[in-house]
Structure 1
Amino acid sequence: MTEIELPAAVRAYLTAHAAKDDDAAARAFAPDAAVTDEGRTFRGRREISAWRHQASTEWTYTTEVTGSRRDGEDWIVAIRLEGNFPGGVADLEQRFTVRDGAIARLVIA
């Protein structure tokens, strides 16, 4: 995966995510945004903030961006999580759709 310049909203989310600043992470999203993670979809900043809070407090982990690329209108970011969750290491792809300077959709696989 190649490294590309990510949109400001995606960079802001990734920085807030790494710092476990759930409110800042939620502010990177559009008011009507949606996040899909582990088969569940969270809609709007309120649900997204609650999702981030649960994820950041349930386990202790570190994040590392291992690559990024563009796929049509989406930005794909490869993330490695290491921590005390089952398995201890997870390599994920996060697919961001950005509209009007904010994240409109995030799908984590």
Structure 2
Amino acid sequence: MIWLTILAMTLLVFASRYLFLEPKLPLRLNPQAQKLLSYSSPAVLTSIWAPIVFLPGGEPGFSFSNPYLIAATVAALVAWKLKNVLLTAVISMTVFFLLSYIPLFV
């Protein structure tokens, strides 16, 4: 049953991607639908990172001892100022590592 579910989900994902990415198919979305779909990636990414950053351990973590919140804030500031994805990822991961694994707040 698990293999059948995995196969069905694989076919569903492939078919949905193929329909929109194959240039020879006559399927085109109108501009309103394209604009609506442009919001889906930020919405999905926000639904992934927001609980991790704001609810570590399942409860609100708005404090200076929350490495997720501090690293996310640093990442937002670096991305805003430098506009460089690679540098933003490296700097924010370094900040998170330093806050998580090196006891600065002893």
Rg comparison, structure with higher value? 2
Please, what TM-score do these two structures have when normalized by structure 1?
A: 0.26
Specify which structure has the higher proportion of helix: 2
Specify which structure has the higher proportion of strand: 1
Q: Which has the higher contact order (CA 8 A, sep 6+)?
A: 1
